[in-house]
């Protein structure tokens, strides 16, 4: 209950809640609490049963899956984003782990309360269904991205997507470590370096986290972005208006990367 009014407002503005009645919002946030975590904290392990809907208010969170000592990044989240909505709705165990990449502020809503409210309010239930649909479509994009494109193509499209999200500024800045980005794009860190090197012939210059797309048109001819794969949603600056850009990975706000990769 120790949360600033401004935080509550940011949650209220989420597509998931912005059309809910005051009563519904009160019900679903009943018993919610805000918590701060340092960087590198594991919030949730694969296979854990999940009792809360998480809302990232500040910081950064990585969703990852693992198999046989190997790990891969499924999504990178920035505020304001919700995650593991699907597991909460089904009251099932988590299919991915969640860990903080930076010091983060996270609101935790009772899963029980969420499900109860859904059963009582058709409009809220509908909003949840819409959110889940957006998440689903985000994953469809991810799979297509992964299966249909090669490594350099995924990187090229990632850069073009970032350019749009960062308001067409020229030196875009990578929002995460390159090792994490590599995992998101489905390649080894070494290969990401080489992929960047390849793109230099298309005008791409890298200086640390700053990447300048010298000739976006040339890069675009290589990347061939496709609205059915890459969600080039409006830059964060412009008011997002109708909560319509598909949401991603149970998260409602911006995503860092078209999508997994």
**Pairing mode, strands 97-100 and 171-173:** unpaired
Q: Which of 17-25, 134-142, 174-182, 244-252 is the region at the interface with DNA (rule: CB under 7 A)?
A: 174-182
Q: Which does 170 bind (CB under 5 to 8 A by kind): a copy of itself, DNA, none?
A: none
Q: Which residues pair with 109 in a beta bridge?
A: 53
* Per-residue contact flags (x/-) with a copy of itself for residues 3 to 42, judged by CB under 8 A: ----------------------------------------
User: What are the angstrom distances between the C-alpha of 201 and each of 20, 162, 198?
Assistant: 51, 19, 6
Radius of gyration (C-alpha) of the chain in whole angstroms: 19
* Per-residue contact flags (x/-) with a copy of itself for residues 232 to 251, judged by CB under 8 A: --------------x---x-
Q: Considering only CA atoms, which of 51, 141, 36, 137 is closest in space to residue 94?
A: 51
41 is an interface residue for DNA by CB under 7 A: no
Asked if 172 contacts 166 with a C-beta cutoff of 8 angstroms, the reply is yes
How far, in whole angstroms, is CA 231 from its chain's centroid?
12
Q: Which does 150 bind (CB under 5 to 8 A by kind): DNA, a copy of itself, none?
A: DNA
Alpha-carbon gap, residue 259 to 71, rounded angstroms: 17
Q: Which does 224 bind (CB under 5 to 8 A by kind): a copy of itself, DNA, none?
A: a copy of itself
Q: Phi and psi of 237, rounded to 5°?
A: -60, -55
Residue whose entry in the numeric block shows the structure tokens 């969703």: 63
Q: Which does 247 bind (CB under 5 to 8 A by kind): DNA, a copy of itself, none?
A: none
Alpha-carbon gap, residue 206 to 143, rounded angstroms: 27
Helix, strand and coil percent figures for the chain, each rounded to 5: 40, 25, 40
150 is an interface residue for DNA by CB under 7 A: yes
Toward a copy of itself, which CB reaches closer, 154 or 172?
A: 154
Closest distance of CB 201 from DNA, Å: 13
Toward a copy of itself, which CB reaches closer, 208 or 241?
A: 241
Residues that bind DNA (CB under 7 A): 150-152, 177-179, 186-197, 206
Residues that bind a copy of itself (CB under 8 A): 46-47, 65-68, 70, 72, 74, 85-87, 89-90, 92-93, 95-96, 115, 118-123, 125-126, 128-130, 132-137, 139-144, 146-149, 186, 224, 226-229, 246, 250, 260
């Amino acid at each position: 209950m120790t949360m600033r009014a401004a935080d509550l407002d940011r949650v209220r503005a989420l597509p998931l809640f912005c059309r809910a009645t005051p009563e519904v919002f009160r019900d679903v946030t009943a018993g919610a609490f805000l918590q701060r975590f340092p960087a590198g904290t594991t919030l949730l392990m694969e296979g854990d049963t999940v009792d809360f809907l998480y809302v990232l208010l500040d910081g950064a969170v990585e969703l990852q899956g693992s198999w046989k000592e190997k790990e891969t990044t499924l999504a990178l989240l920035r505020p304001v984003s919700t995650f593991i909505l699907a597991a909460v709705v089904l009251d099932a165990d988590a299919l991915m782990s969640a860990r903080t990449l930076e010091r983060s502020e996270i609101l935790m809503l009772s899963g029980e309360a969420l499900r109860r409210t859904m059963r009582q309010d058709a409009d809220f239930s509908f909003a949840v269904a819409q959110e889940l649909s957006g998440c689903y479509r985000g994953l469809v994009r991810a799979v297509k991205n992964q299966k249909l494109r090669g490594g350099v193509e995924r990187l090229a499209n990632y850069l073009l997507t970032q350019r749009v999200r960062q308001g067409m500024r020229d030196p875009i800045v990578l929002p995460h470590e390159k090792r994490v980005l590599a995992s998101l794009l489905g390649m080894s860190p070494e290969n990401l370096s080489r992929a960047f090197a390849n793109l230099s012939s298309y005008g791409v210059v890298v200086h640390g986290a700053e990447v300048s797309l010298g000739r976006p048109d040339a890069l675009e001819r290589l990347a061939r972005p496709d609205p059915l794969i890459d969600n080039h949603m409006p830059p964060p600056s412009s008011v997002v208006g109708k909560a319509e850009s598909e949401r991603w990975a149970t998260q409602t706000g911006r995503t860092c990367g078209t999508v997994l990769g």
